[in-house]
Amino acid sequence: MAGEENNRGAFRIQEFYCRQMDAPMYARLCVAVAEGLTRESKTGARILDWPGEPTRDALPLRFFGGLHALVRAGKDAGLAAVFGGDVIEPAAIAAVLNAALVAHDDEILPWLDGPPQTNEPGRSGALILGLMEIARRHGPKIDLLEIGSSAGLNLLIDRYGFDLGGTRMGPPDAPVTIAPEWEGTSPAPVDLDIVSVRGCDIQPLDATDPVVEERLLAYVWPETPARGERLKAAIAMQRAKPVDVVQADAADWIEARLAEPQQPGVTRVLMHSVVWQYLPEPVADRIRAAMKAASERATAEHPFGWVMMEPDRNLGKQIVRVRSWPGDGEWRILATAHAHGTWISTEPLNNAGEEYGLPDSAKVNAG
C-alpha cells in the first residue's frame, strides 16, 4: 500500500539486498534515506509520496542512479565523500543527501521517471547455464529471444567468453570473458550454437551513444568498479557489431516471434533477467499464455524453451530457472546468483540463507 512508511520501508528492503550483495556503502545510503530523507526538496517529497509499490518499482535504484551520476560528474563534493566512504554515519549521510537534493533537485528528479536500466553483462554468466541445459535436452542450435533487453548487452551472450567454475564456453578470443565466483558443481560442457539473437524493450537504449553509456555507468554500483570496465568493453563490442534490439511491448513482440516459422532442429528460447517485476500483470499474463500455446505445439523437431534469472525477493538472490518442451515443462532451478552476476552457486536452494519478510505487495510471481 502506498504511503510514506511503506516508501521508507522500501529502502530498508534495499538495504537488505545491498548487504546480501556486499555493497555496504549503498546499504548505509539506504538507512540514511529510510531514517532521514526530508521533504525539503521536490525529489525527497516525490520519494516519500511515491504512489506505486516502491520495491517492485525499484525506487531506491532509480534514485541512486541519479545520485551516482552527480558524483561521476563531479558536481557535489559532499555526495562524493559519502560515495567514497568518508561519511558513514546515517545522520551525517542524510544531512549531505538532503542538502544535495536541494542543490541539484532538477537534475535528480527525472531519474525517478523510469526503472533503472542496469543492463549488466555479468548476468549472461547465469543465463548461459539455462541455454546449456536447453542444448543438452534438445540439441545445440538455439534461436534466442530476449525481452527487457534494455541496451542489449546480454544479446552479446553468443559473443562473450565464459569461465563457469573452470568450464569454458564461448569464443576463445572473446573481447569479454565473464568469470563469476563459483560455488558448487561446475556445469559439464556442451555443444551450443546460438544461431540467432533478437531482443526487445519498451524503451531500448542505444549503448553506443556516449550519453547513454554514461547513464548506464551511473547505474553501476560504485563499489564494483570492475563492472564498469566490463560494461565499457561490452559497449565497445556493440560498436564493432550492433545487436538486434527493437522497441516493442514485450507481449506483442513475443506473440509475433513465436508465431514465426521455426527451423527444424532449432530450439526457440525465451530469455529474460530482472525484468518480470516491471511487466504490467496483463502483459505478463499474455506472455504466459503465448508460451503455453507454444508448448502445446512443440515437437522434437520444433522445441521451445524458457530461461530466466529473476529475483527471489525474500532471499535477496536471483534464481536461475529453465523449462522446455517437449517434456514435462516443469521449472527446474539450476542455480542462485548475485544480481550482477558476481557469483553463482549451484548448491541446493535450501542452503540460501537469511530471508527478508516482504510485504505481499512487493512479491512477484515470475513465469
pLDDT tens track for 236-258? 999 999 999 999 999 999 999 99
- The β-bridge relationship of strands 267-273 and 304-312 is parallel
Give the pLDDT confidence score for residue 1 in this predicted structure: 53
Closest CA to 205 of 273, 145, 149, 276: 149
In angstroms, the first-to-last Cα distance of the chain is 24
For 67, the 3-state DSSP assignment is helix
Backbone φ and ψ for 295, nearest 5 degrees, come out as -65, -35
- The β-bridge relationship of strands 161-164 and 167-169 is antiparallel
- The β-bridge relationship of strands 167-169 and 245-247 is unpaired
Per-residue confidence in pLDDT tens, the chain, 367 aa: 579 999 999 999 999 889 888 899 999 999 999 999 999 999 999 999 999 999 889 999 999 999 999 999 999 999 999 999 999 999 999 999 999 999 999 999 999 998 887 778 999 999 999 999 999 999 999 999 999 999 999 999 999 999 999 999 999 999 999 999 999 999 999 999 999 999 999 999 999 999 999 999 999 988 888 899 999 999 999 999 999 999 999 999 999 999 999 999 999 999 999 999 889 999 999 999 999 999 999 999 999 999 999 988 677 789 999 999 999 999 999 999 988 899 999 998 754 455 444 445 444 556 6
Give the pLDDT confidence score for residue 354 in this predicted structure: 52
Tell whether omega for the bond before 326 is within 30 degrees of 0, i.e. cis.
yes
Listed in order, strand segments (DSSP E) in the chain are: 141-147, 161-164, 167-169, 177-178, 181-183, 193-201, 245-247, 267-273, 304-312, 317-325, 332-337, 343-345
Cell numbers linked to 145: 529471444
Burial class of residue 166 in the structure, from the number of CB atoms within 10 Å of its CB (0-12 exposed, 13-18 middle, 19+ buried)? exposed
Spell out the alpha helix ranges (H) of 139-191. none
Which residue type occupies 208? Answer: T
| Rounded Cα distance, 240 and 258, in Å | 29
Cα-to-chain-centroid distance, residue 122: 9
Other CB atoms within 10 Å distance of the CB of residue 62: 21
Backbone φ and ψ for 20, nearest 5 degrees, come out as -65, -30
For 280, the 3-state DSSP assignment is coil
- The β-bridge relationship of strands 332-337 and 343-345 is antiparallel
Whether 277 and 311 have beta carbons less than 8 Å apart is answered as yes
Cell numbers linked to 45: 517529497
Angle, CA 337 vertex, CA 333 and CA 343 arms, to 5°: 135
| Rounded Cα distance, 162 and 164, in Å | 6
Cell numbers linked to 238: 556493440
pTM for the whole structure? 0.88
Backbone φ and ψ for 264, nearest 5 degrees, come out as -60, 140
